[in-house]
Amino acid sequence: MRLDPKKTELDLGYLGKESQISTYWNLATPQLIEQSILNQEGNLSITGALIVKTGRYTGRSPNDKFIVDHKQAADMEIDWGIVNKPISPAKFDRLLDKILTHIQQQTTYTMDLHVGAHPSHQRRVRVISEYAWSALFAHDLLIPSQERFITPPDFTVIQTPSFKAIPQEDGTNSEAFVLLDFKKRIILIGCTEYAGEIKKAIFTIMNRILPDEGVLPMHCSANIGMEGDTALFFGLSGTGKTTLSSDPDRFLIGDDEHGWTNNGVFNFEGGCYAKTINLSSDLEPVIWEASQRFGSVLENVIYDEESRKIDFNNGILTENTRAAYPIEFVSKREKNSRGGHPNHIFFLSADAFGVLPPISQLSPEQAAYFFLSGYTAKLAGTERDLGIEPQATFSTCFGAPFMPLNPVRYANMLRNKIKEHKSRVWLVNTGWTGGPYGIGSRIKLPYTRHMISAAIKGILEEAPSIVDPFFKLTIPTIIPGVPAKILYPVGNWEDKKRYQHFAENLKTEFRKNILKYKGSVEESILNQL
C-alpha cells in the first residue's frame, strides 16, 4: 500500500498577492525520503543516505544572482557591482507573480525552519520547493521548527527548478536565477536544482541584517576544545573549513556560517554541507560517518546501481560532490551551537601557486589585510563554467559572493573584535607546496592538522621562526609531526628562481587587488606588502 501524507492548504497572501497552494507541510525526514524515492528524485545508498543528482547545475551560478534595488536609503548600503547586481522591483514582482501561479500547478514541499542558534538574532525561514529532497536538504541544513508558523515568517524562499526565466522579458542573465528582495524578505530561485543556492541565499540575507545589530556575520566554521577555547576557520569552498573544524579531538559548533556577538560566536545553521570528493574514512572520519546515515543527502556522487556503494573518488559529474546532514549526526558537537570569543582564527587559502607557507602568524594589521584580500584558488566544480583548472582569486572576507555590504565594514568589525579579545590569527595554506598546481603536491591533511593543533595548544608561540621576505609572514621553523622542509616554501622547490618568480607575481596580484580599498582603510593596512 502506497503511503501518501496529506497535503495542507497554505495561504501565501502575505507575499503580496492573493495565492494559495496545496502543499506537503513540515514532513518528517522518513516521509521526505519516501516522497523523494516515489517521485524518482533519488535512490538510497547501501548505508541509507539519499543520493540525488542536480542536473545541469552542480554548483552555484554567481552570474544569475540579483538583489532588488528599491532606490531607498537601505539600498544605498548595498555594495553594488559584479557580485551584487541590481534588478528592478517591477521585474522582481513580475517574476514573483509568475512563480506563484506556477507553484499552484505543482507538487510542493514546505518547511518552516529557523536560522541562527542565538535567540536574540534568530530568524524564521519558510522554504517552499518542488522537490522533496530539497525540502530534506533545508531541514538538514537549517534549524527545524517544532511546529508550523502561524504568523508570516521573517523570510520566504521559493525554489522552482522547473520554472525557466525569459531573460529578455524578466531581466535575468539566463533561464536560471537567484533573486533576493531584502525589503519584501523573499528569495526566488529558479531553473536550478542545486540546493546550495538555498543555503547561500539565506546566508546573504543574514550578512545584510546582522551588522545593524552589532553582530559580525562570518563565512567560517567553528569548534571548541575541552577547556572552552574557541577556534574559527575562514575559507571558501574546498579550502578545508568543514574538514578542519570536524576535528575528532574538539567539539563542532558549525561548519560554515557564524555570527560574532558581544558574548561570543553562534552557528547560523543546524547542519553541515561537506565536500565529499575523495572522502576518506581514515582522513575525515567525522564527515565520513555523518554522510553515510539515513537522513543525509548526497549530491552528484557516483555509485554502483546494484550494490549502492558510493565511489567518493569519482568526480565524473563534478568535483563539487556534497553531503548535507544535520549537525546531530556529529557525535562530538557543541550542543547549543555556541562558543565564546575566538582564541584562534585561521584563514584558509588553497594556494594554487605553492607560494604561501603552510602556516604563519599574522598581526592585527596583517589579519585585516588578508581578510580583505580573501586569497585562495577556486577549485573545479564549486561554480558553473569554472573549468577543470583552479583559478587564483581574491574573494573579500573569504566570502564575497555572499556579502552584500561594503567589505570594509565587515573587515573593520573583525579587526576591532580581534584587538578587543586578543585573538591569535593564522594564515594556513591548504593548497600546494613544492611547485604550482600540476607540478607541486597538495599539502597533506595530517600535516595541516598537526600545525593547527600546535597553534591552538600554544606550541607555536614558543617555536623558532623566520620572516618571509616576500609577504613578511612570521613562519615557524619547527612543528612536531611536520617535515621542516615544507614549512619554508622556497626550500621545498627544486627551482628556487622559479619560486621567486611565482612569489613576486602573486605579491603583485595582492597589491593590485588591495588598491581598490585605498581611501577606505588605514594606510598601515594597505602597505602590508
Catalytic positions are 60, 200, 219, 237, 241-242, 256, 322
CA distance 376 to 355: 12
For residue 214, give the C-alpha cell: 552589532
**Distances, alpha carbon 343 to alpha carbons 256, 280, 443, in Å:** 18, 29, 25
* One-character DSSP codes across 275-330: E-TT--TTT-HHHHHHHTSBTBEEES-EE-TTT--EETT--SS-S--EEEEEGGG-
SS (H, E, C) 168-220: HHHCCCCCCEEEEECCCCEEEEECCCCCHHHHHHHHHHHHHHHHHHCCEEEEE
- Amino acid identity of residue 121, one-letter, is H
**Distances, alpha carbon 193 to alpha carbons 130, 163, 315, in Å:** 10, 11, 18
Torsion of CA 73, 180, 210, 371, to 10 degrees: -100
- Beta-ladder partners of 87: 68
Contact 177, 188 (CB under 8 A): yes
Which residue in this structure is represented by grid cell 517591477? 90
Pairing of strands 310-311, 271-275: unpaired
Closest CA to 243 of 287, 298, 184, 309: 287
- Beta-ladder partners of 123: 115
Closest CA to 297 of 106, 180, 155, 129: 129
Phi, psi of 525 (to 5 degrees): -80, -45
